Amino acid sequence: MTVLRGAAATDVGRVRTGNEDRYLAGESLFAVADGVGGHQAGEVAAQTAIEQLEKSFTSRTTEGLVDAVHEANAAVWNLAQQHAEKRGMGTTLTALALVNDGDEEQLALCNVGDSRGYLFQRGDLMQVTEDHSLVEELVREGQLTHEEAQVHPQRSIITRALGMEREIDVDAWTLTPYAGDRILLCSDGLSNEVGADRIAAILRQLADPQDAARELVRQARANGGNDNITVVVVDIVDDGGKAEEASAALAADTADAADADGEEAAGASLERSRPPTAGGEPPRRGPAGGATATAVRTRPPDAAAPPGGRARPPRAPRARRFTWRVALFLALILGVLVVVAATVTWYGRGAYFVKADGEALSIYKGRPGGFLWFQPTKVKDQVLPLSQVPAASIQAVREGKVTGSLAAADRYVNNLRDQTTTTVPTPPTTAPPTTAPPTTAAAKTPPP
């Protein structure tokens, strides 16, 4: 039996006055919705979609989840048609559910809009969903780079949302759950403010899903908080024995190969870390407030632990005598590893950067967002108020301005401070007025 443990966090951000995001975090159904439309219509659309999704998801299959998303679209559409002030409202929706695929349990992931679904597996973060937005379509067509898309003035324009049309296309994926994996659902308030490397670092460092969700929201808010921020983190605590079955299949193949060939064969084992078992938390929600073709994408099985079929392991090499050539080779390999380790350490810890930390700049040692297992450390706190930073340098300090040394970082901060220093001009010397001879002034007749 597959066991999931989910947690969520949401925040209005630092710019907007209302939170139009909604989320659902139950035992086997999770979702994030980001409403659009303004005048409280966005939050109504998001809340309607979440409620209808939960109500309509009765068939525990991937197709059942897609149908529930279609029902959510119909509910938002019909509500908008009934109330003129809500015309044009809509919402993104990304949903994850534990479903039955024959005799096996799988994870179904559906998406409409630019709220995202990520898979965090073995320390690596992979974006599963595709954004339905104008800039992402331009990126897929090769007209924009990812870097250009991040600062494009039309990056907030979405091309698909629930409630905008009577019928909607829904993208869907089927994932195989493995213990130790994590699924992240989020609104663009997170993905626009926090890079993928930093997201992965937080998911790697914090084992508790609630702690991870809160830290992701905190990071997005600290990096600007220009939109509502909503995060749902789902841990796969137990995979119903899939990992053990895969290991047993490989072990059986190893034994068969040894009997057939008369030689020892290398076995393979699947090792996965398992987060603490969930404590039976009740479902939680965010704050209150005709058929179309469906694209279905299936993630290929994990090559290291295939859930079905057997992979014949390679034969073990014959033992060789230990000679001076082997010793020299091992010494060379060790030397290379030492050089690589020194280079990685130098790169991860050999730089300094200046970065906005709340309402002021601070100086850090390391790399922005961290590098591998090296996380930046703060060496100077609150060195310059953010309000004194020139507008042209705001983006650089929000991302982290990297310098080669602490002295260079200090010079950069001093340069920013100097650019904001203004010189009070000296008033010009006024010559004494000259005395003009008296004249007789004729009164002007005001114009009619």
* CATH, range 2-298: 3.60.40.10
Interatomic CA distance for residues 286 and 333, integer angstroms: 54
The amino acid present at 102, given as its one-letter code, is G
Asked if residues 376 and 366 have their Cβ atoms less than 8 Å apart, the reply is yes
In this predicted structure, the answer to whether residue 234 has a pLDDT above a threshold of 60 is yes
* Sign of torsion over alpha carbons 14, 16, 17, 18: negative
40, 67, 283, 220 alpha-carbon torsion, rounded to 10° = -50
Please give the pLDDT value at position 290: 34
Q: Which residues make Cβ contacts (< 8 Å) with residue 1, sequence separation at least 6? A: 105, 238, 240
Q: Which residue has the higher pLDDT, 275 or 240?
A: 240
Q: Which residues make Cβ contacts (< 8 Å) with residue 333, sequence separation at least 6? A: none
Please give the pLDDT value at position 39: 60
Q: Calculate the alpha carbon distances from 288 to 10, 17, 353, 424 in Å.
A: 12, 16, 41, 54
Interatomic CA distance for residues 48 and 74, integer angstroms: 10
Please give the pLDDT value at position 261: 55
The proportion of the chain whose per-residue pLDDT surpasses 90, expressed as a percent, equals 46
Measured CA angle at 234 (ends 229, 240), to 5 deg: 170
pLDDT (tens digit per residue) in 205-230: 999 999 999 999 999 999 999 999 99
Q: Which residue has the higher pLDDT, 115 or 447?
A: 115
What average pLDDT score do residues 59-87 get?
95
Q: Which residues make Cβ contacts (< 8 Å) with residue 272, sequence separation at least 6? A: 122, 178, 179, 180, 243
What is the DSSP-derived secondary structure letter of residue 372? T
Please give the pLDDT value at position 151: 67
In this predicted structure, the answer to whether residue 178 has a pLDDT above a threshold of 90 is yes
Please give the pLDDT value at position 260: 55
Query: Phi and psi (nearest 5°) for 374?
Result: -90, 115
Burial category of 431 from C-beta neighbours within 10 Å (exposed 0-12, middle 13-18, buried 19 and up)? exposed
- What is this structure's pTM? 0.58
In this predicted structure, the answer to whether residue 372 has a pLDDT above a threshold of 70 is yes
Strands (E), 74-198: 90-91, 93-101, 104-112, 116-121, 124-127, 171-175, 182-186
Interatomic CA distance for residues 219 and 226, integer angstroms: 12
Q: Which residues make Cβ contacts (< 8 Å) with residue 288, sequence separation at least 6? A: 47
What is the DSSP-derived secondary structure letter of residue 319? P
What average pLDDT score do residues 85-113 get?
94
Asked if residues 66 and 294 have their Cβ atoms less than 8 Å apart, the reply is yes
Query: Which of 301, 279, 31 is CA-nearest to residue 170?
Result: 31
Q: Which residue has the higher pLDDT, 443 or 84?
A: 84
Q: Which residue has the higher pLDDT, 114 or 445?
A: 114
Instruction: Quote the tokens at residue 371.
Output: 């590098």
Asked if residues 233 and 8 have their Cβ atoms less than 8 Å apart, the reply is yes
Predicted confidence band of residue 174 (pLDDT cuts 50, 70, 90): very high
Instruction: Quote the tokens at residue 102.
Output: 């024959």
In this predicted structure, the answer to whether residue 196 has a pLDDT above a threshold of 90 is yes
Interatomic CA distance for residues 24 and 55, integer angstroms: 12
- Coil vs helix vs strand at 155: coil
> Residue with structure tokens 């250009």?
148
What average pLDDT score do residues 314-332 get?
63
In this predicted structure, the answer to whether residue 7 has a pLDDT above a threshold of 90 is yes
Instruction: Quote the tokens at residue 34.
Output: 């980001």
Report the length, in residues, of the chain.
448
Please give the pLDDT value at position 94: 98
What average pLDDT score do residues 379-400 get?
86
Q: Out of 238-242, 303-307, 396-400, pick the least confident.
A: 303-307
Please give the pLDDT value at position 153: 65
Start-to-end C-alpha separation, the chain: 94
Query: Which of 199, 291, 309 is CA-nearest to residue 245?
Result: 309
Please give the pLDDT value at position 246: 59
Asked if residues 373 and 345 have their Cβ atoms less than 8 Å apart, the reply is no
Q: Which residues make Cβ contacts (< 8 Å) with residue 323, sequence separation at least 6? A: none
Please give the pLDDT value at position 73: 98
Interatomic CA distance for residues 87 and 81, integer angstroms: 6
Asked if residues 232 and 30 have their Cβ atoms less than 8 Å apart, the reply is yes
Q: What is the mean pLDDT of the chain?
A: 80
What average pLDDT score do residues 62-86 get?
95
* Start-end of CATH 3.60.40.10 domains in the chain: 2-298
